[in-house]
Every structure is written in C-alpha cells, then in structure tokens.
Amino acid sequence: MFDNFVVPDLLPAAPELFLAAMAAVILLADVFIKDARRTVVFALTQLTLIGCAVIQYQTMTGDITFTFSNMFVDDLMSDLLKLVLYMTVIVVLFYSRGYILDREPMAKGEFYVLALFATLGMMVMISANHFLTVYLGLELLSLSLYAMVAMNRDSVVSTEAAMKYFVLGALASGLLLYGMSMIYGATGTLEITGVGELLMTGKANKTVLVFGLVFVVAGLAFKLGVVPFHMWIPDVYHGAPTAVTLFIGSAPKLAAFAVTMRLLVTGLITLSQDWQVMLIMLSVLSMAIGNLAAIAQTNIKRMLAYSAISHMGFMLLGVTTGVVGGDARMALNAYSSAMFYVVSYVMMTAGSFGMIMLLARAGFEADNIDDFKGLNRRSPWFAGMMLIMMFSMAGIPFFIGFFAKFAVLQAVVAAGYMWLAIVAVLFSLIGAFYYLRVVKVMYFDQPADPTPLVAPMDMRVLISANGLAVALFGMFPDSLMIACGFAIMRSIAA
Amino acid sequence: MSSYPLLSLAIWIPIVAGLLVLATGSDRNAPLARWLSLVGAVVGCLITIPLWTGFDVNNGGMQFVELAPWIARFNVNYHLGVDGISMLFVILNSFITVIVVMAGWEVVRDKVAQYNAAFLIMSGLMNGIFTALDGVLFYTFFEASLIPLYLIIGVWGGPNRVYAAFKFFLYTLAGSLLFLVALIYLFVHSGGSFSILEWQQLPIPLSAQIWIFLAFLVAFAVKVPMWPVHTWLPDAHVEAPTGGSIVLAAIALKLGAYGFLRFSLPIAPDASHELANFIVALSLIAVVYIGFVALVQSDMKKLVAYSSIAHMGFVTLGFFMMSAMGIEGALVQMVSHGFVSGAMFFCIGVMYDRVHSRQIADYGGVVNTMPKFAALFMLFAMANSGLPATSGFVGEFMVILGAVKFNFWVAFAVATSMITGAAYNLWMYKRVVFGAVANDHVAELTDVNKREFLILALLAAGTLWMGLYPQPFTEVMHASVTDLLRHVAISKIQ
C-alpha cells in the first residue's frame, strides 16, 4: 500500500488546515502579547474563523470529494454545516467576550484557542468518513470543552460540572468506540462508505452488527444529549460559565447531527429498521422528560438545558422517518427537515444564551428566570428579542422555530407515523408553558432590579441581529429550507 | 375591481402601523403613539371599504385574489382572497380596531405604545386569518394572533391576569396543534398541496374525514368557544382590559366559527353530516345551559362573556343545520355579535373606569347620574337579548326559522333562549341602572364624554342598521353560502 504513496489532496480540507495552523499561531501570539483585554487574540480568532468561512465558500464544489485515503469527505452537507458552524462560533465568541473579561480566571487567550480547537474538532466530525476520523474529531471537541468548562477554576460548580462531563463523556466515547469495533468486526472496514457498501451485499453477520449498532446509537445519543443519556446536560449547562454553556449548547449540535447522519445513514442505512425504532424511543422519551422537567426549573440555564433535550428529541424525529418499510423515497425530505431543525435550533439557542449574558455583569450571573423580571421596563427592545427567541423555541409562527417543527412534523406524517406526530405536538404544548413563563416574567412582572443593562455595543447589535434573523427566517424560511434540501440531496441521498 | 392588492394592504397596513407605533418608545411620546395608532387604524379601516363596494354579489367564489409563492419547498403560497363569508369580517375587524384604539385613549396610561401596537398588529393578523386561502398561511396567522392577545391580557389585565393569559394561550394552542397535524395530513394526502380550495375538491375516505373533522373541531371549538371547552373565555374576559375584551368578543370568537365554514364543512362534508347532530347537541347545551349560567353571574363582564358563549352556540347551531337560512342567520349573528358584544364590553368598561368595579352589586341607579349612557346601554342590552329592530334579532330569528325546518324540538329549545337572554340582560340592566342611587360612587358618576359617546354612537349605528335593513349584509353572503351548501351536499367518499 505504501509503495504508491501519493500526497493527499489537501484542498477539501483546506479550512481545517488553515484553522489548525492559525490556532497554533494564536497560542504562540498569546504568549508574547501582553494585553489584559486580549484584543489582538480575539481579533485574530475572529479573523481566522472568517478566513475559514471564505476558504470554505471558495472551495465549495457541490461534488462529493474524498481525501486522506477516504478518511475525510467534503460534500455540500459538510460545507453548509461548517459555514453555519463558523457563523455560530463567531457570534458565540462575540457574546462571550464581555462576559469573560468580567471574570478574571477566564480572561485568558486560552479561551479563544480552546474554542478554535473545539471548532476544529467539530469540523473534522462533520467531514468524517472513517470511524477513526469521527473519534479523532469527537475527542478534540470533547477535551477542549472539558477544559473550557473548568476554566473558571475557583468556582466549585464549574469544577464539578467539568468532572461530571469528563467522566460521562469518556464513558460515552468508550461506548461509541466499542460499537465501532463491533461493526469493524462484522464488516472488516472502518471506512463509513465502505461499511455502507459492504452491508448492501448482505454478507455481514447481523447479530454482531446490531450489537455494535446499539453501542453506536448510545454514544451518539450521549453526544446529542437525548434521554436516557441526557444526565450530563442539565448539570453541565448549569455549572459551566454561561459563555461556555452557550458554546456547548449551540455549535456541537451541528457536529453531532452530522456524525449521526454519517454513521447511521451513510454507514448503516441497511439497518435503518433497527436504529429507527431505537431513535423513536429516544426521541419520545426526550420530548417527554425534557419538556416535563423544564417546567420545574427556576434556573434559566437548566431550563434551556432540558429544552435542549426536548429539541434534540424533536429533531431526531426527522432522522427516524427517512426509510419507511424499506422505501427510501422520503429520505431527502426527512433528513433535510432534521438538518433545517438543527440549524434553526442553533440560531435560537445562541440568541437565548446571549440574552443571559447580556443581562449578566461583573460579579452577577443572570441565570435565574427571575432575573428577567420586568425586562420590558428596563429595556423593551431586548425584552422583544427574548420574546422572539422564546416564542420561536415554543414553535409559534412567524418565527423560525415554527417552520423547523413544521418541516419535521411534515416528514413524520408523510412517513405515516400519525401517532408520533400527535405525541410530538402534545409535548410541544407542554413545552410552550415554560417558554411562556419567561415571557410572563419579562412582561407581566415588575423589575426586581431596575439597573439598566451594561452590555457593550457590539453585543447589543449582534443580539438584535440574531433576534431579527430568527424572525426574518421565520417569515422567509424558503432559502434556508432549500439550501438544506440541496445539501442533503447532493451528499447523503446521492 | 381595484388593481391594488387590497387584502395585502388590509393585513399589512395595521401591522406596519403597529411597528411604527412601537418605535415611538416610552410613555413620554404617548400622545404621538395614540394619534399614530388612530391614523393607522382608520387608514386600515378605510382601505377595506372597497372590498364591499367592489364586491360582486353574484359571484360565490373567491374575489380580490392574490397569489404568490411563499415557501416553494413545501408548495406553500401567499394566497389571499375573500368570498361572501369572509369579506364582512375583514371590514368588521378593521372597524373594531378603530373602536379599540379610541376606547383606550385616556384610559390606558402605562406603556401606551405597546398597548396600541399590540392591537394593531393583532388586527392585521386577524385580517390574515379571514383572507388566507393557504393552509399554512392560515395557520401562521391563526397562531401568531395568540401572541398579542396573550400580552394584552397579561400586561394590562386585572389582578388574576397571569392565570387568565396562560389559560387562554394554552387552551387555544392545544386545539390548534392538532389542527396543524390535520393540515399536514391533508398536504400529504393531496399529494403536496396546501391550497384550501384544492382540499375542498379532494376525495377523502370517511374514516379519515372523521379524524380530520375532529382535529378541526378541537381547534375551532376552543376558539368559538363551544361547551364544554369554553371555560377559558370568562377568565380571559374578566381579566382582559376593555379593549382586549372587545377584540376577543367581537373578532377572536368569530375565527373559530369562520374555521368551520372554511375548513370543516367543505373539506370533510361527509363527516360533517355524520357528526352534525353531535355539534347541534353541543350548541344546544351552549344556548340553553350557558344562558342559565349567565343568569346567576354577579360580575357584569362574566355575564356578558357567558352570553357570548350562548350566542356563539346559535352560530354553530346555524352552521350544522346545513340550510341556507341557518348559515346566513349564523353569519348575520356573528357580525351582529361583533357590534353588540363589543358595545356591551365597552359599556362595562365605561363604568369600570369610573367606579373600578364590575360587580353588579356595587351599582344601582346609574340612570340618575349618567342618563345618556343609560339610554345607549339600554339599546345594547336589548340588542343582546334579541329585540326586533336591532341586529341581535335578525340573526337569532333566522337561525330559529332554520331550526323549525330542521327539527321542531330543537327550534323550541333554542327559542327558549330568547326568554333567558332577555332575563339575564334586562335583570342585570335593571339592577345596575334603575332604582335609587346605590352608593357614593354612583352618585359621583359623570356621564359619557364625547369620545365615549362617539364610540357608542358608531356601534349603535351598526346595530340599528343591521336590525332595520339587513339586506346589504345577507345579499353579500347569499351566493357564497349557496355554493357552500351545494358543495357540502356532494359526497367526497370514493
């Protein structure tokens, strides 16, 4: 094999290479630039991400390109997800800047470097076409996140959250690896497309495969944060500094979605009968437990954590409805709906956590629902933005969250799972209650703390843009829907 | 026919005006906000008049149609149009918006801009509901209109407003989510169309029709509201500010009834025939039983709220007798109820602004201090109990006539409501207005000012016009109702 060694085609992975190089440069630069506010490091980080987006856009071909001996794939789905990823990380870092400057142990260049490495991990996950690449990306992401959660090192809750995240994350990685090794045992290949092709021939041992599948699904469920592998979500969301919660709660969902698509759809589509049943159970349980538990929360970060669980459950409905009775005609419809859901969810969740940070200031965390009391009197504009986020999450039109739910429900009904659609809407109804409660607190209650907001201008502008985007994409969702449909059509369903 | 997109203007002028009013900001600019809202409401009302003057009464189909693609991914169109059934409600809604803006003129002093903006935006959304000919467009307007009303009840409402606002929102959402599933089912069943007009031609097996009908029923019955899902209405009415009660009674209740004519009857005609007796029974309970419930109320707003439920019982009864007389009577009743119940709530609001009580027991002898008011209040109380020469009589009489043909005992039961109606209205009127001056508060009352008189005069003009010369109203409906009945008579089972 090595006698005909060729240099791999680096172009499909150009953004990853650029990001890796720049992360190293920024790490070094941070050592030499003595600036308490880390302005240069921050600017370099943002420029790197913008550079990645430019490279990504310029190298986009619309074809499926494999490189690094088929370990890495560049297709439209990965292009689109990565572009959303860069945008999300850029927005997240803007939101986080003021917050971490107010908190001394976190105000280090490492925060940005870790964020870049985590982004790199997610990019590798999104483009993985090999079990080892999946694992590599996943670990790069997870290890960066563990460190970020623990960054506020004097905080007991943060440290506890980091420990918990680390132990459970390691367990989940173990499960995923174990499942992968089973599948390797049954098929003799680690390449995801290879697994898919081999399974089509029907030569693999089904028992071993299904055994491996169970572990793979469990590992994915952990990364997506769906019931019953959701235990870490509330504690980590709650314990982590809000800037890190925002990071964990938004971008990694894109990567987890991509890996789910790669492993289950590209690799194991022939086993769809088996994994769809598992996903339906995970999804119904997530919507039930996520929505019911969110009602009882008084801490808004915990509330959004449970809401994340229920949203991921809802999103999984789209993944479960691709193949109906061996007929894959609905695949494009179903998977693109799920992708649209994930992208919309990331947009809404970034804005919601952004609002929590907008209200926070030095020495004060606005992480209780009551901290939003009377926001309409303190700042009608930002109360309006939070109102948009909350109604969007609840799935009320004309906000993007409605069309996300609509698209997935449409896929579920088209697949003939009428009961599943009814269960899903009933749990959305329960979910509406706690989103409404946030609106109630902002609008119906008197402010407990009349101090005006102190957030910097760039953050105000970005939150406003974020809220308006949720509303505008809610009024004109077509372009994004078609982009998702096109990406899935040219990648997975091709 | 006008070349302007009249329906789009009727929807978007109030919404844009509402956003402009929001931009006036804090209460320092309250006068500007008020005048701007009035201008927006009046322009929004005037723009709808050509709908009536340009309406072709011999055409039972859709007029003033606008069609543009909206979400190509799901074949959703921005498809608007009015027929004889919906046209009057667009005008009524725009007219009531002017009334509501005037009704809150001096009374609302807190967050004036937001208050008026909520009503203007809601007015535009409701026009959207009445004119939408696309399932998704209808649903988005239907759901989105919950947001402003939720805020109106919750922010400017009475002491128990939070409970009422949540109950209102969650009840209505519960109904409409199942409606959404039915819409998506129809989309899938029709092979990818959201056009309501196409759905009306679509053959559907009886079992599916029954499910669709029940899903529609849940949504519309909550909105109407029909017994036994009516309990949110008295709470919402009692807690809402005067303007909120007026819009709720005059327009919001009509949305559910309108839905029956636009969706249930034409899309599921066989199920409608199958379940007609069930609906008739529910309607009778509303008319007879709720009439007695109204009789024992000690709170004036609650009394009118229950009388609204009884009157809406007439409407649903009229629809499901499947005769032209019944349906036209029900439609007249809906328009009439818009004037009369709006006026009743405004009268109660006038007294509440002065005495700050809605309890009947706190009043007595109002005629001594407010003679002009007492005369107008008398007119509306009479109209509410169906006195000939007022609009209340025409609709009820037509429905009773229709009922006689349908079944004598149904007609008999319905006709008893003329007695209970007179009883609760006049007894309330007697206790509040006549007799000796009951207490110091009543002794200090001042009669209606010019603004209040103008509002009452406008509503009285509508009430008397409809009562004395209803022909322009029935003439508009006739062709559309005949078409509808012809359509409903044809089975869709194949």
Do residues A147 and A210 lie in contact, with contact meaning Cβ atoms separated by under 8 Å?
no
Categorize the per-residue pLDDT at A166 as very low, low, confident or very high, splitting at 50, 70 and 90: very high
pLDDT single digits (tens) B394-436: 888 888 888 888 888 888 888 888 888 888 888 888 888 888 8
Interior angle at CA B187, CA A260 and CA B223, nearest 5: 105
Count of residues making up chain B: 494
Are B166 and A440 within 8 A, CB to CB?
Answer: yes
Chain B partners of A446 at a C-beta cutoff of 8 Å?
none
Answer whether A478 touches B (CB < 8 Å): yes
Count of residues making up chain A: 494
Q: What is the model's pLDDT at position A288?
A: 93
* SS3 state at A364: strand
The CA distances from residue B190 to A164, B78, B123, B202, B262, in Å, are 51, 18, 32, 7, 17
Rounded Cα gap, residues A486 and A492, in angstroms = 10
Positive or negative, the Cα torsion across A118, A120, A126, A128? negative
Chain B partners of A414 at a C-beta cutoff of 8 Å?
188
pLDDT single digits (tens) B369-398: 888 888 888 889 888 888 888 888 888 888
Q: How many CB pairs under 8 A join A and B?
A: 91
Q: What is the model's pLDDT at position A460?
A: 87
* Nearest C-alpha neighbor of A335 from the set A484, A215, A157, A206: A484
Do residues A30 and A109 lie in contact, with contact meaning Cβ atoms separated by under 8 Å?
yes
Q: What is the model's pLDDT at position A493?
A: 55
Do residues A369 and A109 lie in contact, with contact meaning Cβ atoms separated by under 8 Å?
no
**Is the pLDDT confidence value at A408 over 80?**
yes
Answer whether A10 touches B (CB < 8 Å): no
Q: What is the model's pLDDT at position B1?
A: 45
Categorize the per-residue pLDDT at A2 as very low, low, confident or very high, splitting at 50, 70 and 90: low
* Nearest C-alpha neighbor of B7 from the set B79, B98, B97, B101: B79
The CA distances from residue A135 to A142, A279, A486, in Å, are 10, 21, 27
Q: What is the mean pLDDT of residues A190-218?
A: 87
CA closest to A443 among chain B residues: B155
Q: What tokens does A21 get?
A: 């190089």
Q: What is the 3-state secondary structure (H, E, C) of A118-149?
A: HHHHHHHHHCECEHHHHHHHHHHHHHHHHHHH
Chain A partners of B161 at a C-beta cutoff of 8 Å?
444
Do residues B51 and B93 lie in contact, with contact meaning Cβ atoms separated by under 8 Å?
no
Answer whether A376 touches B (CB < 8 Å): yes
Residue ranges of chain B whose pLDDT lies below 50: 1-2
How many CB atoms are closer than 10 A to CB A387?
22
Answer whether A428 touches B (CB < 8 Å): yes
Rounded Cα gap, residues B323 and B343, in angstroms = 30
- Give me the residues paired with residue B69 across strands: B77
| Mean confidence (pLDDT) of chain A | 88
Do residues A96 and A111 lie in contact, with contact meaning Cβ atoms separated by under 8 Å?
yes
pLDDT single digits (tens) A72-114: 999 889 999 999 999 999 999 988 888 888 887 777 888 899 9
Q: What tokens does A71 get?
A: 């370990």
Rounded Cα gap, residues A481 and A474, in angstroms = 11
ipTM > 0.95 (yes/no): no
CA distance B112 to chain A (A): 13
Q: What is the model's pLDDT at position A101?
A: 83
Amino acid at A322: G
- Window 71-100 of B: residues touching A by CB (8 A cutoff) are 71-74
The CA distances from residue B95 to B38, B49, B90, B100, B348, in Å, are 11, 10, 9, 9, 20
Answer whether A421 touches B (CB < 8 Å): yes
Query: Which of B74, B147, B178 shows the shortest C-beta gap to A396?
Result: B147
Find the range with the poorest average confidence among A148-162, A322-336, B62-76. A322-336
The CA distances from residue B177 to A405, A434, A449, B142, in Å, are 11, 17, 37, 11
Cis before B225 (ω within 30)? yes
CA distance B144 to chain A (A): 5
Query: Which of B162, B170, B188 shows the shortest C-beta gap to A432?
Result: B170
Answer whether A429 touches B (CB < 8 Å): yes
CA closest to B189 among chain A residues: A414
Positive or negative, the Cα torsion across A225, A231, A237, A240? negative
The CA distances from residue A54 to A26, A48, A271, in Å, are 19, 10, 38
The CA distances from residue B348 to B13, B375, B377, B428, in Å, are 30, 14, 9, 12
